[in-house]
Structure formats: C-alpha cells, structure tokens
A = this chain, B = another copy of it.
Amino acid sequence: MLLIVGDMDLKSFIRDIHDFPEPGIIFRDITPLLLSPEAFRFATDCMSEPFVHSGIDYVIGAESRGFIFGTVIAQKLNAGFIPVRKPSKLPAETYSVDYDLEYGSNTLEIHKDAIEPGKRVLLVDDLIATGGTLAACCQMVNELGGELAGISVLIELKFLDGFSKLPSVQGVPTYSVLQY
C-alpha cells in the first residue's frame, strides 16, 4: 500500500502566530491546513505512510488536537481509535497520568479496558514540543499492557528535542512530517 502520491508544500498551510499563548512564543497554527481537504489528506497520508506495514491495532490521540489527526490516521491504517482525555470526561474506569506541559501541567486519562494486552499501538499528535503529552501516552500504553509500535506527529519542534526525551521509545520508530 502506497498512500502518498505527488508532493505538497505543507509548511505553506501552517500559519505562524507570534506571542501566543505567551510573549516570545511562535505558535504553529494548523487551522489553515485543516481548511484545505487536499492538504489535510496529504498531511495524514504522510503521517500514516511509515506505519502501513507495522500491524497497528490501535491509534491513540490525546484531547483535543490529537483527535483531529488520530481518527483519520486510524481509518487509513484500518485500526481502532482510543481517545486520551482530560479528567472526568471518560465515563468508565480510567488510568490517570499527571505530567508537565510546555506551559503548565496537566492530567490525562485513558479507559482501563481500552487496550487489549499485546496489541500494537501508534501514538499520534499534531505536534511534539517537550514531549510531555506523548510521554504520558507511552506510560498509559505500558501500564495497560499494549505494545508501543510507533509515534507519528505532523510538526516537530527540533530545538526542544522532544523525541529523545521520551524514555520508553528506544527502538520504537518515531516520525515527524515537518520540522521547525
């Protein structure tokens, strides 16, 4: 299966917003990319392509922008989608992880019965900064007995070196479409 046909300058669909959410920060705004069905399709094809032969059973995406890419990529890989959510949003029994964000701190939850042990999981997000959200998701996959099969993001902030700070991804393929 080859998903990607042609090429596209995806960075031209990312809008730089200066001083958001804090002074000195350049926010990479993905909403222009979402407005273009062709750019969104191409972006999610690129994010899926390295994992089409990885036997992915589930894609995990964290609330909220992880939902945007995770659901579409799950369908492309014929995998199930598992939402990781903010506290008190998931209705059944959950496993919780507290972690540090680029700005502040956060807690995320996953349904305890979401991952059948031994199943292969791909983590998906729009962006990796310091890697806090993805590290929390890695911890969830380990705790629930899943096998981490890869991480795919649209945007990697290279200067923050997030992938190398994820302790549990040694030997696990990681992929970013765009680097800043």
Identify the A interface with B (CB < 8 A): 15, 17, 20-21, 27, 29, 31, 34-37, 40-41, 44, 58, 63-65, 67-69, 71-72, 74-75, 78-83, 85, 88-92, 111, 114
Contacts and interface: CB of A to CB of B under 8 A. Distances in A.
Contacts of A69: 71
Contact of A68 (B20, B71, B89, B90): B71
Chain A interface main SS type: mixed
A83 B83 CA distance: 17
A123 to B, nearest CB: 16
Given A29-B91, A88-B21, A83 B68 contact: yes
A17 B91 contact: yes
B20 A80 contact: no
A68 B84 CA distance: 12
A40 B74 contact: yes
A80 B27 contact: no
A21 B87 CA distance: 12
Given A58-B35, A80-B36, A80-B40, A29 B71 contact: no
